Amino acid sequence: MPTTLLFSVLADTVLIIHVLFIAFVIFGLVAVYVGYFLDWQWVRNRVFRFIHLGAIGVVVVQTWIGVICPLTTWEMALRDKAGEATYSGSFIQHWLHNLIYFNPPDWVFTLVYTAFAALVLASWFVVRPRTRNG
């Protein structure tokens, strides 16, 4: 496999991981609240809930301190090594980027991420995780 193709495939892989991370954060919260109403016990799993809270927590802290997501940085470095322009290239890259990248001011992302994190934190009180004994 030519080196540029390898870097392109690796960049697409990082992009897919990024989209899956975002899907986990968003749909994880949706699942918690839907699970509350449908009495799904798995949404009360402490490990799932800690991982979910930690995931959005990392995103919020990054935006508060102005750090670009490491997945984005890694993907762009791989695209550069592949000789690709940023956010153009393969079909996967093009469509997945259209789903997750927008162009509003940075403060909008900070506000949205913080509000979303507040909803995740609130879910700990509305849909309580199981205790170790329960």
- Averages of pLDDT over runs of 10 residues in the chain (134 residues) are 88 92 95 96 96 96 89 88 68 61 75 94 94 68
Sign of the alpha-carbon dihedral angle for 97, 99, 104, 106: negative
Contact 97, 72 (CB under 8 A): no
